[in-house]
A and B are shown apart, each in its own frame.
Chain A
Amino acid sequence: KQEVTQIPAALSVPEGENLVLNCSFTDSAIYNLQWFRQDPGKGLTSLLLIQSSQREQTSGRLNASLDKSSGRSTLYIAASQPGDSATYLCAVRRGYGGATNKLIFGTGTLLAVQP
């Protein structure tokens, strides 16, 4: 059974710092991995998707990497801003057909960026 864990569970940093969020998964046979952001009481916003054949993806100040063999992904946020404060969730997708078409979410990292 796939298990997805995120470390740390909570993180507080001063504005302007670069930071790394970690995601680990137990089954390396994944289809893709997606990073989401969730603001309090809101839905999920997709940040980056890394296909199983890719090593990293970048969008603005965000960079996500994937190492399937070790079961790890990282989300790097450069020059953090107070507006980055949210819960960050990683999710692995097992496959695309039938019973494998599902996202398994990690436990989340609650990020607070202090002005």
Chain B
Amino acid sequence: GENVEQHPSTLSVQEGDSAVIKCTYSDSASNYFPWYKQELGKRPQLIIDIRSNVGEKKDQRIAVTLNKTAKHFSLHITETQPEDSAVYFCAASTSYNTDKLIFGTGTRLQVFP
């Protein structure tokens, strides 16, 4: 079955710097890759997603890149702000014969003023 690995587990950056979180997946049939943000005590919420027919997607200060050959995708946050501090999860799913949605282990991002 699908396995999603996520690194790093914690990440500390200065306000204004960039942050990069990386994930790898094992199932080559996976074709949908969302990223979720979870603030303390709250539920995870989608911030950006990418499908396997696209290599990069941007939304203001956040971007996601996908390398299907390497089975690797990354989240990039530029000009970080204190309110970006949260836990970020990557995930992977495939519609082939199943509707599983498997998450990585999470990255705790701290942005210091």
A and B co-occur in one complex: no
Binding site for B on A (CB under 8 A): none
